[in-house]
Amino acid sequence: MTKTIVNLTLPILIEEIEFALNQYPHHPYQQAFANPDLRQELIAYVLSRVLSLYVVVDEEKQQRIDFQHMYHKPEQKKEREAYIHEGIHYLIDKYAEYVHHHIPAEINSESTPSNWFG
Q: Is residue 118 part of a domain?
A: no
Residue stretches of the chain with pLDDT short of 50: 109
Instruction: State whether residue 75 is helix, strand or coil.
Output: helix
Q: Is residue 111 part of a domain?
A: no
Q: Is residue 23 part of a domain?
A: yes
- Domain of 78, in residue numbers: 3-60+73-102
Residue 109's pLDDT is: 45
Residue 73's pLDDT is: 81
What is the tally of structural domains in the chain? 1
Q: Is residue 94 part of a domain?
A: yes
Strand-pairing partners, residue 7, are 54
Residue 96's pLDDT is: 92
Residue 31's pLDDT is: 93
Q: Is residue 108 part of a domain?
A: no
Residue 84's pLDDT is: 98
Spatial CA neighbour of 91 closest among 80, 83, 102: 83
Residue 71's pLDDT is: 64
